[in-house]
């Protein structure tokens, strides 16, 4: 493999990334204009994704193709639950529905955890590097848009100080570069990462029209 996997993933998903940035409720989120109810629905759906992803990663913590990506600071399910507790209050899980796209995504993650655990790395890439890159900006926009008290309900975006975020990002990328033993494995990860972006696009579109996705 001549091109390192981290670079290959970035190049292969660049166009999809652009389309996801513009999909469904994302533009409103970026303008700080997403209604609170829609934001809670987004967090609730993301929580289901992270729970499935992180339980799969935990189950295969010693897998040589996943272990290099398992940085404790990355885990997000607990932070999302804390934000939902803070912004919605107890009972958010039954109160806030999951979209069809989320349910399908969770099924995919569970299937990978059962049958092809190394491909979970592609989903870890799409989520965690996305969070590490966008977190600081989104925390500010969400806080302003929803008029939150400083630090309230934005644990999801908190990976520590800027140096910690940069270090985490570097460690994750370095981890990626060691996990594909051959070309077939690398290509399978690139394909799975593209699929993850498409699934996110569907999710954001369904969340914009909540009744359409149920």
The answer to whether residue 109 forms part of the interface with ligand HEM (CB under 6 A) is: no
Distance (Å, rounded) from C-alpha 156 to C-alpha 148?
14
- Using CB under 6 A, pick the residue from 129, 142, 179, 180 that binds ligand HEM: 129
- ∠ CA 98-118-122, nearest 5°, is 55
Supply the DSSP symbol for 129: I
Of 76-84, 95-103, 109-117, 123-131, the segment contacting ligand HEM by CB under 6 A is: 123-131
* Residue 85 or 171 having the CB closest to ligand HEM: 171
Residue 200 interacting with ligand HEM (CB under 6 A): yes
Buried b (16+ CB within 10 A) or exposed e, 165-194: beebbeebbebbeebbeeeebbebbbebbb
**Least gap, CB of 143 to ligand HEM (angstroms):** 16
Site for ligand HEM in 23-52 (CB under 6 A): 26, 30
Please, what is the minimum distance in Å from the beta carbon of residue 145 to ligand HEM? Answer: 13
Q: Which is nearer to ligand HEM, 92 or 204 (CB)?
A: 204
Task: Give, in degrees to the nearest 5, the angle at Cα 99 between 95 and 101.
Answer: 155
How many residues bind ligand HEM (CB under 6 A)? The answer is 15
Question: C-beta of 197: minimal distance to ligand HEM in Å?
Answer: 6
Handedness of CA 157, 140, 38, 201 (dihedral sign): negative
Question: Which helix (H) or strand (E) segment is 147 a member of?
Answer: none
- Kindly list the residues in this chain that would bind ligand HEM in the complex (CB under 6 A): 9-10, 17, 20-21, 26, 30, 125-126, 129-130, 133-134, 197, 200
């Amino acid at each position: 493999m001549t091109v390192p996997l981290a670079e290959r993933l970035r190049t292969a998903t660049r166009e999809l990334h652009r389309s996801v940035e513009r999909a469904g409720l994302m533009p409103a989120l970026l303008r700080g204009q997403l209604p609170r109810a829609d934001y809670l629905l987004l967090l609730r759906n993301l929580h289901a994704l992270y729970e499935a992803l992180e339980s799969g990663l935990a189950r295969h913590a010693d897998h040589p193709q996943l272990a290099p990506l398992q940085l404790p600071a990355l885990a997000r399910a607990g932070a999302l639950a804390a934000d939902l507790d803070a912004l919605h209050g107890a009972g958010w899980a039954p109160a806030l529905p999951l979209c069809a796209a989320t349910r399908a995504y969770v099924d995919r993650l569970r299937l990978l955890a059962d049958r092809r655990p190394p491909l979970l790395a592609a989903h870890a890439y799409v989520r965690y590097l996305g969070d590490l890159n966008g977190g600081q900006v989104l925390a500010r926009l969400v806080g302003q848009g929803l008029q939150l008290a400083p630090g309230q309900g934005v644990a999801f975006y908190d990976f520590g100080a800027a140096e910690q975020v940069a270090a985490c990002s570097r460690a994750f990328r370095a981890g990626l570069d060691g996990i594909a033993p051959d070309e077939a494995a690398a290509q399978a990860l690139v394909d799975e990462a593209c699929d993850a972006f498409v699934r996110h696009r569907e999710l954001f579109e369904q969340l914009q029209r909540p009744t359409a996705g149920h």
